[in-house]
Amino acid sequence: MKLVELVVASGKGGVGKSTISGSLAALLARKGFKLVAADSDAEEPNLHIVLGIDRWDRIEEYYEGRIAYILQDKCTKCNICAEVCPFGAVEVTDGNYRINEYVCEGCVTCSLACPAKAIRYRFGIVAGHIMFAERTKYGFPLVSGESVPGRPNSGKLVTEVKNRAKAILGSEGVLLLDAAAGIGCQVISSLTGAQFALLVIEPTKASLSDLKRIHKLTKHFMMAPMLVINKYDINPEMIDKIEEYAKEENIPIAGKIPFDESVPNSINMGKLVVEAFPDSPASRELKRIADFIAEEVLSNWRAWYSKYRPKKHEPYIPVIIRPQRG
Amino acid sequence: MSTTRIAIPTEKGGLDDLVYDRLGRAPTFTVVEVDLETGEIKSVEVVKNPGAEAGSGAGAKVAQAIADAKASVYVGPSPGPNAYAALQYLGVKVFTVVGVKVKDAIKDVIKELKS
């Protein structure tokens, strides 16, 4: 079937991406799909919690970025670096110039400005970790990433997590990604190269608004979207609006999960709801969604993809400030 | 005879490499210089992608590198929003293609550019 990438995304946080990702991964693996799950939310990774992993088989350090330092024997104490540093990272103690490594962002302004060429960089800053569980109790591997507080919101870390997951998967199978909330660098990195987006929405105005933003981004990347409405029965008025949007935009609705106390209860037990309460209303709907993905989407994914991907490229172009030409 | 330079994201680079599935953090890009009239390939160059090492802002870096390599055409996966905007600003034509070899992508895009 070749390598198929399915990204679970939502725009808004807290709508159930990880819970749904975990259950769908387990259900698809149970159906016999060769699957690797990847947590591509490096700021708040928690797919491993949903999957009941309390110990990683392997943890790799992830390096990124640079921090400036001043060669004391070359420094002429001209104070230019302190004047130009946008972060105020240059400190003077006893007449000596030093760079506070906790404040430095590695932006190279100081080294460009330094007339004495006294500024060097230290690379290989630990900016995060990539974690591996070779086999979750549901049978498939999980790759996850976490960033170190204060280090950049890193699309590259997500790219590395994806590349590791793809290396485990090989040339065919399903890569299921649990994306971060929002439409930022990490989310873009999750979407790049993927064919399918499973968009999770809850029936609130905020969730619909954020969904439209992430959907616009999936159109940019020519992805075929599908929609899951979580806790659909808590706010019936919003359902019409959501369905209207889905119809206008040709987004198939993969399922509607009812509000069900067995979901939070299962999370507290450290189990997936489909494992802890397999006959609960939410689990039954999750199984229907997994059937839909397996039978309708993945069984002939090329046909499904060409049917539901945007017919023409709709680029999501940010406003750019054009430099003055002079 | 004027030629056109086409940039394609790749892993190792070269005509037999596959078009990489992402632009911003592709390890390299391959710049192929072609004569549009005859379809003849004049030169092939592999350039390291500075975006591959970027934590963020990979799109803008790779767009700049493509322009620095004097490419006027980009062929590859859909660039991200920042890369797309930068390529447009730099006047680089964008064609999307995935899952094919560089040499086949070049053939296709020559057809497109001539039509």
Interface test with A, best of B22, B90, B94 (most A CBs within 10 A): B22
Q: What is the ipTM of this complex?
A: 0.71
CB contact under 8 A, A65 and B55: yes
- Long-range contacts of range A269-276, CB-CB < 8 Å, 24 or more positions apart? A270/A49, A270/A52, A271/A52, A272/A22, A272/A23, A272/A26, A272/A50, A272/A51, A272/A52, A272/A138, A273/A19, A273/A23, A274/A23, A274/A26, A274/A27, A275/A26, A275/A138
Domain parsing of chain A, residue ranges: 3-62+127-308, 66-123
What does the pLDDT read at residue A26? 97
pLDDT of residue A151 exceeding 90, the answer is no
Q: What is the pLDDT of residues A279-288, one digit of tens each?
A: 999 999 999 9
**Which CATH code fits A3-62+127-308?**
3.40.50.300
- In the A/B pair of chains, how many CB contacts fall below 8 A? 65
> What's the pLDDT at B28?
96
Residue B29, min C-alpha distance to chain A (Å): 16
Model confidence at A213: pLDDT above 60: yes
| B81 interface with A at CB cutoff 8 Å | yes
Instruction: From chain A, pick out residues whose CB is under 8 angstroms from the CB of B85.
Output: 317-318, 320
Query: Looking at residue A15, what is its pLDDT?
Result: 95
Q: Which fold has domain B4-114?
A: Nucleotidyltransferase; domain 5 (3.30.420)
How many angstroms separate the Cα of A23 from the Cα of each of A57, A138, A175, A275? 22, 10, 14, 8
Confidence of residue A65 (pLDDT cuts 50, 70, 90): confident
- The answer, yes or no, to whether residue A324 has pLDDT greater than 70, is no
Average pLDDT over residues A302-306: 95
**Residue A61 pLDDT:** 94
Given CB atoms, is B9 within the 8 Å cutoff of chain A?
no
Q: Residue A326 — very low, low, confident or very high, per pLDDT cuts 50/70/90? A: low
Spell out the CATH class of A66-123.
alpha beta
Cross-chain Cβ contact B53/A157 below 8 Å: no
At A1, the pLDDT band (50, 70, 90 cuts) reads low
Would you call B61 an interface residue with chain A, using a CB distance cutoff of 8 Å?
no
* Nearest CB to B80; choose among A152, A188, A322: A188
Contact A280, A273 (CB under 8 A): yes
Specify the pLDDT at position A157.
Answer: 93
User: pLDDT under 70 in chain B at which residues?
Assistant: 1
